[in-house]
Amino acid sequence: MSKGICLISVPKSGTMFLSRYLERLIGEPVIFGLEDQTESSLLADIEDGWHPEIHAVLDTRSPDLETMSKRFAQMLSRNRRADSSGDRMRIFSDHGYSNFLQFLINPSTSQIQNPYDIVEWALERNLAPVFLYRDIRAVANSLVHFLASKKSFLVDVRSIEEAATLVTRLHAPVLAEQIQTWRRLKDDPNVLSVSYEELIADPESWIQSICKHGNISCHTDGLAEAPDNYRSWTFRGSKASWKDTFTVEQQVLLNSLLPVVAPLA
């Protein structure tokens, strides 16, 4: 029987909200990253450097690859001690890429990890796989404001417009492919697929479902009605509508990434 959760979440899809709440339930910090990675291994993965279009608009304050690898390795090493005890309730959280740092600076569909491999990894550790996803247009919108926020130690573009161009051309197609790939497992009894939009519309019911899936004691008393009521260490993006962020041409491209697109305000 499962003793925790392996949360795979599309970037900018409510990872921090869900992680923070689950931390409160089990009394243990979430472990970010399925596997610990050293600074040198991370650096080796990104040795090809920046995508030319991303490098062309970098701010002069952007850190070098060595600095980024060091900081990312430090983040991955947090709370890793919790993985040493088989009796401890555990929650692992990951974005489902071979190297998320690489995805940000030089995105490619080849960086998407095989969902079946991740599910096998989770089940071997008695962890229940949960996939958290979100409307690709909302993901793209949030990622644009994150990259342009001047608070990221990863990519520091100069404006919302430049970030929108990069995300639409480079990141969004990869993110959409990741969602499509994982959605093929929607009928797999081992995997609980959770829509961000449904999660925030009815957090109590979905938290209960997630807890049941991971064999976690669930107490939803006092659960906030929206993720924004939970403190997070990640940057919270602008409330701007995706239609205010992207040009008409970019909106057409984003709409084309999903075969069926639900209305989004």
Confidence of residue 107 (pLDDT cuts 50, 70, 90): very high
Look-up: residue for tokens 């409160």?
24
Write down the pLDDT at residue 219: 74
Which residues lie closer than 8 Å to 186 by C-beta, 6 or more apart? Answer: 193
What would the DSSP string read from start to end of 245-259? Answer: HS-HHHHHHHHHTSS
Of 125-134, 201-210, 223-232, the range with the lowest mean pLDDT is 223-232
- Rounded distance between C-alpha atoms, residue 4 and residue 44, angstroms: 32
Q: Among 91-100, 214-223, 231-240, which range has the highest average pLDDT? A: 91-100
- pLDDT above 80 (res 195): yes
Q: How far is CA 135 from the centre of its chain?
A: 13
Amino acid in position 16: M
- Of 22, 64, 55, nearest to 153 by C-alpha is 64
Confidence of residue 87 (pLDDT cuts 50, 70, 90): low
Q: How many residues does the chain have?
A: 265
- Specify burial of residue 231 (Cβ count, 10 A radius: 0-12, 13-18, 19+): exposed
Confidence of residue 179 (pLDDT cuts 50, 70, 90): very high
Domain boundaries, the chain: 4-135+180-235
Of 84-98, 137-151, 246-260, the range with the lowest mean pLDDT is 84-98
Is the full-model pTM beyond 0.85? yes
- Rounded distance between C-alpha atoms, residue 110 and residue 216, angstroms: 34
- Rounded distance between C-alpha atoms, residue 90 and residue 107, angstroms: 30
Which class would CATH give 4-135+180-235?
alpha beta
Write down the pLDDT at residue 262: 47
What would the DSSP string read from start to end of 182-223? Answer: HHTTTT-TT-EEEEHHHHHHSHHHHHHHHHHHTT-----TT-
Rg of the chain on CA atoms, in Å = 18
